Structure 1
Amino acid sequence: MPEADGTLGKKVFIETYGCQMNLADSELMGGVLADTGYSSAESLEEADVILINTCAVRERAEDRVFGRLSHLLRFKNDKPELVLGVTGCMAEHLRDKITDQAPYVDLVIGPDAYRRLPALLDKATGEARDPVIDVKLDKAEVYEGLTPKRKPGVGGWVTVQRGCDKFCTFCIVPFVRGRERGVPPHEILRQVENLAERGYKEVTLLGQTVNSYRYEDVDFADLLEQIVPIEGIERIRFTSPYPTDFTPKLIETIARHDKICNYLHLPAQSGSNRMLDEMRRQYTREEYDQLVDDIRAAVPDIALSTDIIVGFPGETEEDFEQTMELMESTRFDFAYLFKYSERSNTYASRNLPDDIDEEVKGERLKKIIALQESISAEVFKSKVGGTYTVLVEGESRRDPNELCGRTGDFKTVVFPKADGRDIEAGDLVDVKVTDCTSHTLLGELA
């Protein structure tokens, strides 16, 4: 945030937990606060306001937030006028638990209240010491007209859709983020053009089921067509799509435009039809396999990642083996792997007993991690010897004499700086891959 030139002159520190949607929302809050005179705190010690932007998808994330709040209490003890707030999905989901377990929290607001954040902070800093709470969902709020306060980098996020209508039995998102609503295309284009004007080279379009986007007669493929011509944006990504909302039109659009990256995150969750039905995933294993075949036929060099849950209520060894078979046959480049965690207020928590022993869940998780590690190692090894275009993100964390970046198919590449070549973040360079780990490609400038 810029230094305050307005009325408040107070400093805010925003700490984010969870997915890209939460990171994008933190930038949105930063922009709203900057417009009303707040500046950015570089550390917790100098903050007048501390906001913890939270995730409610998994229990572990909530436990981390409660632990973090306990740690942050010392800053309130040192500075009693400090405002400590909890924002986001967990605020929506666990309002009463937050105020009971952490009564020193001053502000609890949900994902649809960020436009009102400055006024809510004013109220929280007043004489009343009861927590200020605003967790009402708003089926119309898409934050049109607001500009996020973005962190420096080569890529930025633009939220194109808020909420979710899928109601998977394990998922809390529709209850904490509300129903699906698309951001108007002109607003999305404004934000992407703003990214380009500020020198960002890559945009990632965000939505809980991003490819189900619709605004009046504009679908997601149409939206991509409108973004592709924007000068300065070299790469377009999106996450997370939902399998049943991939249309032939969308697949053809992805295949036709080089700017749209050859990488898709395609959540599967399970390889068992019985489990998919229990999860209400709206597709079968056979339909998922066919979608993968259709995408790979249109984009032969596509890289795929996925989400997998093991230990879902009622999962048998046969169900688990079918998930292993899905992973072996599809050969995802990488995967996000989890054991089932019951979330209150979901259909599963009310109707499906969490009947898989935690030790069994843990063993199944270990098995799929080991399987995916072996597959990823083979996939990355197959890249050795090839030359790929890399969008440079900056210096490598491990060595200032090395640069790092990503390929179009979302693989991290590390390579030495070259004498006589002034390469900066945001540059596109060709790198020949000479070695790899199961998660990183190593190479040299071509």
Structure 2
Amino acid sequence: MHKSAPTVYIETYGCQMNVSDSELMYGRLEAEGYVSVDSPIGADVVLVNTCAIRDNAEQRVLGRLGELRRDLKAGAVLGVTGCMAQRLGPRLLETDTRVQLVVGPDGYRSLPSLIDGARHGERFSATDFDLEEHYEDFTARRFDGVKAWIPVQRGCDYRCTYCIVPTTRGPERSRKLADVVRETAEVAQRGITEVVLLGQTVNSYHDGSHDFADLLRAVGRVDGIRRVRYTSPHPNDFSDRVIAAMAETPTVCEHVHLPMQSGSTSMLKRMLRRYSREEYLDCVARLRAAMPGLGLTTDIIVGFPGETDEEFADTLSLCREVRFDDAFTFKFSPREGTPATRMPAEWTIPEAVVDARYTELLNTIRSISREKNLGRLGERMEVMVEKEARKGGELMQARSRDFKTVLVPGGPELIGRYLTVELTGTTGATFTGTPVQERAPLPMAS
């Protein structure tokens, strides 16, 4: 009797690096005969690929594991992978008896053998770092048909005082430029026209011979690629070479996500960000001088230990000075093992103060974004259609080169297409756009 292939379901939390890692895990398991499925119900193997950047991300996963335990079929293998697995390691096995596998970001090569062992009742924790591991021989199973996440660097050496990433991802190491170019060419041959280069501090990339400027130029030259993006850079690593490569490579998009975290030099020092308010502003000025019309987004933390009213005011004033297009805003979340948890208890900011500051920051960011977006109505731009809009109603979600979300009329047949649209409306955060026919030039008079 024919035995059906085992099925696997992976649920992903967190950043784009986790999405990319899930693609690698699916690829690895499919190469071993597994079939991916869209639901945990009835799956032979269920893996939860986790984030550890904030406590609420971990709490969500713990709650989800409880739900999954109820849904799992008898004999199914339940595993936790990713950053939370790396951080907690064997503790996860001790606190949740139904979890059989705990695998960190450098352990995915051994997944098939670990799953085989789990099927025979064994329980494993695989959380050793492997500084040579870049999964070069893995073929990722791409979730997205129009853009590809391509890791170029793993780990981080910066050690900001609030950040768990060096603990969960290990020290920084970069892939060889030729390997990144090869992977880019492979996705282009499949018809994918946009790539996003991933790294914890991606612009510090260096493979021993080539820096991030070399990488941008090389990836940007690959036949079939129309857009190159990257995330997330560090303000300290925008050398003149990198900025010139961005400005001079036509496929590199006019958008930078430039994490700020705070607008106060004294706060940035406590965060160990290694730049001052003035140095951040200088980085912004150099980027905008090289690329007029650059879209600029950022990350900001509110309520870091010891944050004074004056330091918070500095953050608001820097937002008004830079005029970001958008920002991801976060309330400080202490992470076990980071230096921020060892700061004096009296530095802890009362929850009510954090909430009030967070609301004020959010209102400031939204007001600036809305004002900027209203000023762009009537503008024409190229967008690439990515997916169906959540609102539905025959609307598709598209993205401009400078990272604006534009809703355009149409159906799924437009996915992957490039359109010229006129911006006709804005909610403050997103635009609506109408496709326009590019007029052919008039014939010259004889």
Shorter-chain TM-score: what band?
over 0.9
TM-score scaled to structure 2, two decimals?
A: 0.95
Change (3 A) 1:352 1:188: farther
Show CA shifts across 1:2-23 (max 9, x none). xxxx998110000000000000
Q: What residue is the counterpart of 2:166 in the other structure?
A: 174
SS of structure 1 residue aligned to 2:149: strand
> 2:293 — aligned with what?
301
Matched ranges for 1:39-438 at <5 A: 39-76=35-72, 79-128=73-122, 131-353=123-345, 355-417=348-410, 424-438=414-428
Letter in 1 for 2:298: T
List alignment gaps of at least 5 residues for structure 1: 1-5
Q: After TM superposition, give the deviation of residue 94 of structure 1 in Å.
A: 1.3
Question: Following the alignment from structure 2 to structure 1, what is the Cα–Cα distance between the partners of residues 24 and 380?
Answer: 37
Report the residue type matching 1:297 in the other structure: A
Query: Which residue is 1:3 aligned to?
Result: none
Runs of at least 4 residues of structure 1 off by over 6 A? Answer: none
Shift of 1:192: 0.7
Question: Distance in 1 between the 2:271 and 2:394 partners?
Answer: 48
- 1:371-407, Cα deviation, whole Å (9 max, x unpaired): 1111111121121010000111243332342332100
Q: Give the total of aligned pairs.
A: 434
Report % sequence identity. 45
Q: Distance in 1 between matches of 2:390 and 2:260?
A: 32
SS at match of 2:414: coil
Question: Contact 1:211/1:242 (CA < 8 Å) preserved in 2?
Answer: yes
State the TM-score, normalized to the length of structure 1: 0.95
Give 1:15's aligned amino acid.
Answer: E
Q: 1:199-243: per-residue Cα shift (whole Å, max 9, x none)?
A: 111000000000000001100000111111111111000000000
**1:302 is aligned with what amino acid?**
L
Q: Is contact 1:21–1:207 with CA below 8 Å preserved after alignment?
A: yes
Amino acid in structure 1 at the alignment position of 2:28: V
Q: Is the 8 A contact 1:70 1:102 kept in 2?
A: no
Structure 2 unaligned residues grouped into runs of 5+: 437-446
Of 13, 17, 22, the residue aligned with 1:21 is 17
* C-alpha distance in 1 between matches for 2:162 and 2:242: 28
Q: Structure 1 CA distance, aligned partners of 2:246 and 2:430?
A: 25
Structure 1 residues 34, 7: closer, same or farther in 2, change over 3 A?
Answer: farther
| Residues 350-374 of structure 1: CA deviation (Å, up to 9, x unaligned) | 2453511111111111110111111
Q: 2:409, 2:327 → 1: CA distance?
A: 28
Distance of aligned partners of 1:104 and 1:127 in 2 relative to their CA distance in 1, 3 Å threshold: closer
Measure the CA separation in 1 of the matches of 2:81 and 2:310.
41
Question: What per-residue deviation string (whole Å, max 9, x for no partner) do you get for residues 282-302 of structure 1?
Answer: 100000001101111110110
Contact 1:394/1:425, CA 8 A, preserved across alignment: yes
CA distance in structure 2 between the partners assigned to 1:171 and 1:127 by the alignment: 36
CA distance in structure 1 between the partners assigned to 2:284 and 2:357 by the alignment: 24
Equivalent-residue separation in structure 1 for 2:318 and 2:40 (angstroms): 45
Q: Find the aligned partners of 1:83 and 1:114 in 2 and give their Cα distance.
A: 15
Q: More displaced, 343-352 or 64-73?
A: 343-352
Paired amino acid for 2:194: E
